Chains A and B, each alone.
Chain A
Amino acid sequence: MSEVVKLQLIGLTIVGSGVLILLLIRAQFVRVIGFVAIVLGLFTLVALSVPQMASLPPVEEKFDIATVKTPTDMATIGQKIFFSKGQCALCHTIGPSESARCPDLKGIGAKLSREFLFESLTQPQAYIYLDYRHEGQPKEYPARMPYINKNPIGLSKNEILSVIAFLQQMSGEPISVTVAELEVPGQASAAPVKVAQSGPVDVAQAH
Chain B
Amino acid sequence: MQQQGGWIQRLLQAVKGQGGMLSGLLWAVGLLSLPALAFGADVAPAAATEYRDIPYIGSRNLVWVVAQLHLLLAGFVLGVPIFAWLCEVVAWKTGEKRYDKLAKEFTKLLTSAYATTALFGGILLFLLISFYPKLMNYLTDIFFPSFIVYCLLFLVETATLYLYWYGWDAMQDGGKKKFHIFLGFMLNFFAFFIMIVPNSWATFQASPVVLAEGSDLARAWAATWNPTWWPVNIHRLIANVVLGGYICGAYAGIRYLSARNAEERDHYDWMGYVGNFIGVFGLLPLPFAGYWLMREIYQYNQQMGITLMGGFLSWLFILQAMLIGVLFLGSNYYFWLGITYRIPGSELKYRKPMLSMLIILLLCLGVWMTPHSLVASLEEARKMGGTHHPLLGVFGVMSAKMTVSNLMILVTFMSFIMYWRAGKEETAGWAKAAKAVMSSLLVLAGIAVVVLGVWGYFVPAIVRINYFSTSQVLIVLFVMLTITPLTALLLKSAKTTTEMVWGKMPPRAGYALVLNAIMVILLMTLMGYARSSSRVHWHVYGVLRDSSQYAFSPALGYAAAIMALNTFVFCMIVAFIFWVATMSDKAKAPHS
Contacts and interface: CB of A to CB of B under 8 A. Distances in A.
Interface of A: 3-4, 7, 10-11, 28-29, 31-32, 35-37, 39-41, 43-44, 46-48, 50-58, 60, 84, 87, 89-91, 98-99, 124, 143-147, 150, 152-153
Contacts of B365: none
A7 B565 CA distance: 12
Interface string B315-353: 100110011000000000000000000000000000000
A37 B568 CA distance: 8
Given A57-B537, A84-B542, A39 B518 contact: yes
A51 B387 CA distance: 13
A57 B533 CA distance: 11
A43 B318 CA distance: 12
Contacts of A35: 511, 514-515
Nearest to A56: B552
Contacts of B71: none
Contact of A99 (B141, B213, B299, B311): B299
Contacts of A89: 542
B555 A53 contact: yes
Nearest to B543: A87
Given A35-B514, A146-B210, A147-B213, A54 B555 contact: yes
B564 A41 contact: yes
A60 B545 CA distance: 9
A201 B212 CA distance: 17
B211 interface: yes
Nearest to A28: B258
B536 A144 contact: no
A57 B254 contact: no
B560 A48 contact: yes
Contact of A146 (B213, B254, B511): B213
Given A44-B560, A48-B557, A153-B210, 4 more contacts: A40-B567, A46-B322, A48-B556, A55-B537
A146 B212 contact: yes
**Top 3 A-B pairs ranked by shortest CB distance?**
A47-B560, A57-B537, A48-B557
Nearest to A84: B542
B258 A55 contact: no
A35 B571 CA distance: 12
A60 B257 contact: no
A53 B312 contact: yes
Nearest to B540: A152
B462 to A, nearest CB: 9
B271 to A, nearest CB: 16
Nearest to B550: A57
B542 A43 contact: no
Contacts of A40: 518, 522, 564, 567-568
Contacts of B511: 32, 35
A173 B318 CA distance: 48
A54 B554 contact: yes
Contacts of B141: 152
A90 B299 contact: no
B300 interface: yes
B260 to A, nearest CB: 11
Interface in B533-591: 533, 536-537, 542-543, 545-547, 551-561, 563-564, 567-568, 571, 575
Contacts of B537: 55, 57-58
B515 to A, nearest CB: 6
B418 interface: no
B552 A43 contact: no
B568 A43 contact: no
Contacts of A91: 209-210
A57 B546 contact: yes
Q: Which of B138, B375, B557 has the largest count of A CB atoms less than 10 A from its CB?
A: B557
The contact size tier of chain B is 35 or more
B275 interface: no
A44 B558 CA distance: 8
Nearest to A52: B555
B211 A51 contact: no
B79 interface: no
A53 B315 contact: yes
Given A55-B533, A57-B551, A28 B209 contact: no
A50 B299 contact: no
A10 B556 contact: no
A165 B347 CA distance: 76
Nearest to B256: A28
Given A36-B514, A51-B375, A10 B211 contact: no
A36 B575 CA distance: 13
Contact of B552 (A32, A55, A99): A55
A52 B561 CA distance: 13
B282 interface: no
Contact of A43 (B257, B522, B551, B555): B522
Contacts of B518: 36, 39-40
B553 A55 contact: yes
Contacts of A87: 210, 542-543
B231 interface: no
A43 B560 contact: yes
Contact of A47 (B138, B536, B559): B559
A121 B276 CA distance: 56
A50 B552 contact: no
Nearest to A55: B553
Contact of A50 (B138, B315, B323): B315
8 contacts: A4-B557, A36-B514, A50-B315, A51-B375, A54-B553, A55-B533, A90-B542, A91-B209
A152 B208 CA distance: 12
B144 to A, nearest CB: 14
Nearest to A97: B302
Contacts of B560: 43-44, 46-48
Given A40-B564, A47-B557, A57-B546, A90 B536 contact: no
Contacts of A90: 208-210, 542-543
Contacts of A11: 561
Given A35-B511, A36-B571, A87-B543, A44 B210 contact: no
Nearest to B222: A144
B212 A144 contact: yes
B557 A29 contact: no
A89 B213 CA distance: 19
A143 B558 CA distance: 47
A87 to B, nearest CB: 6
Contacts of B138: 152
Contacts of A48: 556-557, 560
A144 B218 CA distance: 12
A143 B494 CA distance: 63
Interface string B207-228: 0111111000000000000000
Nearest to B466: A98
B561 A44 contact: yes
Contacts of B551: 57
A23 B141 CA distance: 57
